[in-house]
Amino acid sequence: MAEAIKPKKTLDCVGLYCPEPLFQTREQIDSIEVGDVLEVLADDPAAEEDLKRFAKRTGNELLELENKEGTLRFLIKKMK
C-alpha cells in the first residue's frame, strides 16, 4: 500500500446539503496550487455524484473516495 496522501487542505462539508459541497469544493480547488490535494468530507449522498462529475468535468483527479459509515471522504488533486 502506497503511503497515505497528505492533503494540503481539508474541507468539512458534513451536515451541508447539495449543492453546498460542490460550491465549496470549487472554491477551495481554486485556492490551492496545481499538484496540491484537497480533502473533502461530506455526508450528503448527492455529494458523491456531484464531486465525481466535478472532477471529471474540470480535469482534476479524484485520487480516493471512501465511505466510512455514511461520511464520504474525497481526495482531489488539482491538475490544472
By CB under 8 A, how many residues form the interface with another protein? 15
Looking at 9, 10, 17, 67, which residue binds another protein (CB under 8 A)? 17
Which residues belong to the active site? 18
C-alpha cell read off for 60: 482534476
Distance CA 2, CA 13 (A): 27
Query: How far, CA to CA in Å, does 54 sit from each of 4, 42, 62?
Result: 23, 15, 9
Distance CA 67, CA 80 (A): 27
- Residues in the chain, how many? 80
Looking at 19, 32, 36, 65, which residue binds another protein (CB under 8 A)? 19
Looking at 12, 53, 67, 79, which residue binds another protein (CB under 8 A)? 53
Instruction: Establish if 79 lies at the interface with another protein (CB under 8 A).
Output: no
- Site residues, another protein (CB under 8 A): 15, 17-19, 22-23, 26, 44, 46, 49-50, 53-54, 57-58
